[in-house]
Homo-oligomer: A and B are copies of this chain.
Amino acid sequence: LNLSKYKEALDVEILNLPLHKKPENLYDPISYILGIGGKKIRPLLCLLSCDLYSDDFQKAMPQALAVEIFHNFTLLHDDIMDKAEKRRNKPTVHIKWNEPVAILSGDLMLILAYEQVMKAPAYLQHQFFTLFSQTAKDICEGQQYDMDFEQISQPELSEYIEMIRLKTAVLLGCSLKLGALVGGSNEIDADNLYNFGINTGIAFQIIDDLLDSFGDESSFGKRIGGDILANKKTFLRIVAMQNMDAKKQIEFWDKSANEAEKIAAIKQIYVQQNVLEKAQQSINQYHQKAIENIQNLNLNESSKKILLDFAESLLQRSV
């Protein structure tokens, strides 16, 4: 699956955004966060999705920029909330500048994202506004649920899935739907692509939970066991704690200050509770739903294969 033609075109447009403006302390942080990399999955999906229905993927460039700007707005504000000092190995905006600058630049990015998404053919503007606003609200709700879960001892698995749907998956769905509609798809295909994004996004997030505890340090790119040390309410933990004995053991280890011992002990509990199999089952279910979403599309088989390959590549990161 080669996304490089989208990537190259997108990178040019990001550099051409009118961000060399005054006051510099407002605009420079936006150039900075958009410039420090990231996989840019959302805008690439938007352009790919447009390309499947049109002979010109560039038609969806404003929407691709919108989802990329919006995604980076959420990262910028999340980093303040989490007091994160690094993002992609660079200092976060509130560290490099300060917190007021980070709040305000983020606010402006939300406005700039709206402006881009509305650079659409007139007949799509109302629908795009509604979809983008709903997506943005969903993501705020997802972020709040995620923060609330830090306080709740034991969210239900269904609540957790709903949280990751809101926080992560809807923006993938929105990116695909915007691109498809600009490209000229019908509503049914656009909705199937939206749901493909949702199902792929949820599966992706469960894999991320798995890798955080059972991944390979060098390929995962983060230290293994971070979620365990933070007592984070992940898919693994929630499933394991459905067993009362395991729940008691995990709550015992929550207070442990011996990091290596704690990680090893909790991973062992996860293994004993068959959490890896249950996670893999769930991943397979969402992946299967995503495949069905694609099979329903009014596209030829080679186009469908591109999307199936994309889901495959996103979900193949194995433990």
A80-B99, A104-B143 known, 17 other contacts, Cβ within 8 Å: A23-B148, A25-B144, A25-B147, A77-B107, A80-B100, A81-B99, A104-B147, A107-B140, A108-B137, A108-B140, A110-B111, A111-B133, A111-B136, A111-B137, A114-B129, A114-B133, A118-B129
User: Which residues in B have their C-beta under 8 angstroms from that of A80?
Assistant: 99-100, 103
Name which residue of chain B comes closest to A81, CB basis.
B100
The SS class assigned to the A binding surface is: helix
Q: Please measure, in the bound complex, the distance between the C-alpha atom of A281 and the C-alpha atom of B144, giving whole angstroms.
A: 50
Q: Please measure, in the bound complex, the distance between the C-alpha atom of A201 and the C-alpha atom of B106, giving whole angstroms.
A: 26
Q: Contact string, A133-175, partner B, CB cutoff 8 A, digits 1/0?
A: 1001100110111011000000000000000000000000000
Is A126 at the interface (CB under 8 A from chain B)? yes
CB distance from A164 to the nearest CB of B (A): 14
User: Which residues in B have their C-beta under 8 angstroms from that of A23?
Assistant: 141, 144-145, 148
CB-based contact A110/B108 at 8 Å? no
The chain A residues found within 8 Å of chain B, CB to CB, are: 22-23, 25-26, 77, 80-81, 99-101, 103-104, 106-108, 110-112, 114-115, 118, 122, 125-126, 129, 133, 136-137, 140-141, 143-145, 147-148
User: Which residues in B have their C-beta under 8 angstroms from that of A99?
Assistant: 80-81
Task: Out of B77, B118, B129, B133, name the residue touching A104 (CB < 8 Å).
Answer: B77
CB-based contact A81/B110 at 8 Å? no
How many copies altogether? 2
Q: Please measure, in the bound complex, the distance between the C-alpha atom of A110 and the C-alpha atom of B81, giving whole angstroms.
A: 18
- Given A107-B110, A136-B111, A129 and B126 contact (CB-CB distance below 8 Å): no
User: Which residues in B have their C-beta under 8 angstroms from that of A110?
Assistant: 107, 110-111
Q: Please measure, in the bound complex, the distance between the C-alpha atom of A25 and the C-alpha atom of B107, giving whole angstroms.
A: 20
User: Which residues in B have their C-beta under 8 angstroms from that of A125?
Assistant: 125-126, 129
CB distance from A150 to the nearest CB of B (A): 10
CB-based contact A111/B140 at 8 Å? yes
Task: Out of B126, B133, B144, name the residue touching A122 (CB < 8 Å).
Answer: B126
CB-based contact B129/A103 at 8 Å? no
User: 5 A-B Cβ contacts within 8 A?
Assistant: A26-B141, A26-B144, A80-B99, A81-B104, A101-B147
CB distance from A113 to the nearest CB of B (A): 10
Task: Out of B107, B129, B136, B143, name the residue touching A129 (CB < 8 Å).
Answer: B129
User: Which residues in B have their C-beta under 8 angstroms from that of A22?
Assistant: 141
CB-based contact B133/A115 at 8 Å? yes
Name which residue of chain B comes closest to A147, CB basis.
B100
CB distance from A160 to the nearest CB of B (A): 14
Q: Please measure, in the bound complex, the distance between the C-alpha atom of A103 and the C-alpha atom of B77, giving whole angstroms.
A: 7
User: Which residues in B have their C-beta under 8 angstroms from that of A26?
Assistant: 140-141, 144
Name which residue of chain B comes closest to A82, CB basis.
B100
Q: Nearest 9 CB-CB pairs, A to B?
A: A81-B100, A26-B144, A23-B144, A108-B140, A111-B136, A115-B133, A77-B103, A23-B145, A111-B137
